[in-house]
């Protein structure tokens, strides 16, 4: 695959994922929702958004976890190990917040 083709694909993927994040019908997140160093703050923000959404199609935990996984998957190459660790811990916090067991 040519370098030019790779750049085109990368640009369209960024635009697609950014569009999903900004215009998701499921959750309305406050700006910087994933920027915190505190997994509990991230989880609380996602939980609040999921519980208050009137457009989500699944239960609040599933919606919040889906948005978190989507963000991790799309931002993966740009996240530091510390950021990735914080976001992974936020998954455990979400499960705890919704009364689910933490996976280990």
Q: pLDDT tens digits, residue range 36-84?
A: 999 999 999 999 999 998 878 889 999 999 999 988 988 878 899 999 9
Q: Rounded to whole angstroms, how far apart are CA atoms 63 and 73?
A: 15
**Where do the structural domains in the chain lie, given as residue ranges?**
3-97
pTM: 0.74
DSSP string, 22-66: HH-SS--PPTTTTT-S-HHHHHHHHHHHHHH-SS-SS-HHHHHHH
Average pLDDT across the chain, whole number: 81
Note whether 30 and 45 are within 8 A (CB). yes
Q: What is the pLDDT of residue 15?
A: 60
Task: Report whether pLDDT(104) > 90.
Answer: no
pLDDT band, very low/low/confident/very high, at 8 (cuts 50, 70, 90): low
């Amino acid at each position: 695959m040519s370098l030019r083709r790779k750049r085109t694909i990368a640009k369209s993927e960024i635009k697609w994922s950014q569009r999903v994040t900004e215009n998701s019908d499921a959750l309305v997140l406050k700006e910087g929702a994933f920027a915190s160093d505190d997994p509990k703050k991230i989880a609380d923000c996602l939980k609040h958004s999921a519980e208050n959404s009137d457009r989500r199609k699944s239960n609040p935990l599933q919606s919040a976890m889906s948005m978190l996984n989507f963000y991790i998957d799309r931002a993966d190459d740009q996240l530091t190990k510390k950021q990735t660790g914080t976001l992974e811990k936020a998954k455990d916090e979400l499960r705890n917040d919704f009364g689910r067991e933490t996976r280990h």
